Structure 1
Amino acid sequence: MSTGASRPTVGAVVLTMNDRPEEFPRAMASLLAQEGIDLNAVVVGNGCEPEQVPAGVRTVTLPENVGIPEGRNVGADNVKGDHLFFFDNDAHLPDTDTLARLVAELHHDPQLAYVQPRISDPVTGETLRRWVPRLRASDPTRPGIVTVMAEGVVMVRRDAYDRAGGWPGEFFLFHEGVELAWRLWNLGCTGRYVPDIVVHHPATNPARHETFYRLNARNRVWVARRNLPRPLIPFNLATWALITLWRIRDRQALRVTLTGFREGLSSGQGPRQPMSWRTVLRLTRAGRPPVF
């Protein structure tokens, strides 16, 4: 880790469950090789004591798995830096100036709260649609302002993150990036997708188990109930429900999805902080009205 008072400071948060013995060391090596910044990194063991951690990197051990969003919150509380970099432990940075370039994007525009690189598979070069934080995601090389984020690899301005209240820890997994992005926009900030900065990540499919379908549906409802003005909530959920019914063909997956949807409607979704109508208008002008 380099030092120097004039360098931008970055706090990097990496979660581990000690289940990626090959990918995790590569991720950490690429992180510690970054140049042009002061890096302060922390590894959070989500329900475990972190293993294979490089010397000099701080660790935090959580006795139980609290989920990805809350694990990231814990990491952010235990790392220093004017910028926060959230980094999946199976990703890696192919260039040593990746973080410096992401920070530079934030410095060029004081309204920017977060910036996301293009995530691509290291073997095929594929960028999955879910990694492109906008509608019309067929061209992953098109840059621009975005209203959501792919939360596994993203740089966030620390002061904006704190003002937004961090990640929604109640979510455990899925859609936490939508909520954080919306709350950052509600502060008057924006986000940017910068596809000429590339981070490698294996292209895997998260839709592998019932937990995916249940939490994906539950949290989708929670995002709407927590963040939208009340008149928009039924429009948002109706749009999502119609798209889901059209997309999901597996009857068991659909059943579990509906279970999660009902859970989201009936259970406590956590604190409600609805965005202003001005934010709704800004999101719409940016190309993604919050009913989609």
Structure 2
Amino acid sequence: MTQSSAPATLAVVIVSYRARQLLAECLDSLFAHPPAMPWEAVVVDNASDDGSADLVRKRYSAVRLLANDANLGFARAANQGASAARADFVCFLNSDARVMPGTLDRLVAILRQQPGVGAVGPRTTGSDGHVIRSCFKFPTLARPLFNVRPLRTVLGPSTLALAYEPWDPTTTRAVDWVSGACLMVRRDALERLGAFDPEFFMYFEDVDFCRRLWVAGRAVWYVGDAVVVHHTRGSTLGVHTPGLFLMEQRSRLRYFRKHYGVPGMVFIRGAMGLAALWHLAALPFQRGPARASQGVRVNLDLLREALAPARGPRP
């Protein structure tokens, strides 16, 4: 945190929900490895019931805290945090992520050196150092068909894959989109595009934002020599539950409706329904009654979702 009265050049916005311990580790990493420029941190707590807000108040008095009375979802809370800061660069950082030495400076440097780049994201690793994919190609209408094994065999993985191959994680390059686990954006790009679309409660808001950046003429870069450690799904209690899975599918539907129109929505619902039916048909061959029972519930919910009318932003 800058000790001078100069306005912040960089604002780090952290959205937190029931991630008290991980939030503390995230903030500790910021103060251990601060950028070499005036900066500020803004934590937006989405009505956590684990004492996260009190932690920030008591232990991190220099951090600006915005404590919501309800869970507004990631996109709305991230926008709230960005609006509270006036820095030239805004870094959206997950509460379950930790920055490494020099990471924030490197990301700012790329944005300063490359005026045509609107957003950047770092290389992401797990706590054990293994690389976690954090940049991808934009999803296509055919992608949900990848979940149907016979079609995956016929079409081949290269046809539907979102990952870049071959891939050198240390290389810096333009990509379609980078993960919102750590996403640094120019202030003017945020203001021009209106930040994250609040219709996405969680999931796909980063994909949508990067797509809108490219449409607006701003590139998105992956920066291979800047590193963030990410506890995958740590901020959602560490488990990809059936509820979170359905939330992800609803956001997927919103994304395709927004960017592909009604025909795209109809196709993607059909593809999702086909995938659900395929998995239901394969369930008798699953091992264990508990796994089969959960599979029935999840895929029936997915099938209902595919047949349901479009929903609003709430999960």
| Shorter-chain TM-score tier | 0.7 to 0.9
Q: Which residue of 1 aligns with 2:191?
A: 162
Give the Å deviation of 1:235.
Answer: 5.4
Q: For residue 182 of structure 2, what is the aligned residue in structure 1?
A: 153
Shift of 1:145: 1.2
Deviation at 1:228, TM superposition (A): 2.9
CA distance in structure 1 between the aligned counterparts of 2:180 and 2:69, rounded to whole angstroms: 24
Aligned match for 1:213, one of 245, 250, 258: 245
Letter in 2 for 1:52: L
**Larger Rg, first or second structure (1 or 2):** 2
Higher alpha-carbon deviation: 214-223 or 43-52: 43-52
Q: Secondary structure at the match of 2:177?
A: coil
* Closer/same/farther in 2, CA of residues 25 and 246 from structure 1, 3 Å limit: same
Q: Which runs of 5+ in 2 are unaligned?
A: 138-161, 283-294
Letter in 1 for 2:310: S
Q: Which of the residues 93, 96, 100 maps onto 1:87?
A: 93
Residue identity in the other structure for 2:131: T
Q: Percent identity?
A: 27
CA RMSD, Structure 1 to Structure 2 (Å)? 3.0
Pair 1:239–1:260, CA change in 2 (3 A): closer
Deviation string, structure 1 residues 180-206 (Cα, Å, up to 9, x no partner): 111111211110111221111124586
Farther off after superposition, 166-175 or 202-211: 202-211
Give the number of equivalent residue pairs: 265
Aligned 8 A contact 1:148 1:178 in 2: yes
TM-superposed deviation, 1:20: 2.5
Aligned twin of 1:277: none
| Distance in 1 (alpha carbons) for counterparts of 2:276 and 2:119 | 29
Alignment TM-score, normalising by the size of structure 2: 0.74
| Pairs within 5 Å for 1:46-85 | 46-48=46-48, 50-53=53-56, 54-85=60-91
Corresponding residue number in structure 1 for 2:163: 136
For structure 1, which runs of at least 5 residues remain unmatched after alignment?
Answer: 271-292
Letter in 2 for 1:136: A
- Note closer, same or farther for the CA distance 1:186–1:229 as it changes in structure 2 (3 Å cut): farther
Any conservation in 2 of the 1:40–1:80 contact (CA below 8 Å)?
A: no
1:258: how far off?
A: 2.5
1:51 positional shift: 2.4
Q: How big is the shift at 1:165? A: 1.3
| Superposed displacement of residue 18, structure 1 | 4.8
1:1-292 alignment runs, 5 A limit: 1-2=1-2, 9-21=9-21, 23-32=22-31, 33-48=33-48, 50-53=53-56, 54-95=60-101, 97-123=102-128, 125-129=129-133, 131-134=134-137, 135-137=162-164, 139=167, 141=169, 142-204=171-233, 208-228=240-260, 232-234=264-266, 250-263=295-308, 265-268=309-312
1: CA distance between counterparts of 2:227 and 2:255? 29
1:212 alignment partner AA: L
Amino acid at match of 1:110: P
The answer to which of 42-51 and 184-193 deviates more is 42-51
Shift of 1:13: 0.6
Q: Is the 8 A contact 1:83 1:157 kept in 2?
A: yes
Counterparts in 2 of 1:12 and 1:122: CA distance versus 1, 3 Å: same
Deviations 1:94-127 (A, max 9, x none): 21x211110111112111110010110122x123
Residues of 2 paired with 1:218 and 1:70: CA distance? 17
Maintained 8 Å contact 1:113/1:190 = yes
Whole-angstrom distance in 2 between the partners of 1:185 and 1:225: 18
Larger RCO, structures 1/2 (Cα 8 Å, 6+ apart): 2
Deviations 1:265-291 (A, max 9, x none): 433579xxxxxxxxxxxxxxxxxxxxx
Deviates more, 1:85-94 or 1:137-146: 137-146
Richer in helix (by share) = 2
Distance in 1, Cα, partners of 2:270 & 2:127? 37
**CA–CA separation in structure 1 for the residues paired with 2:76 and 2:124:** 23
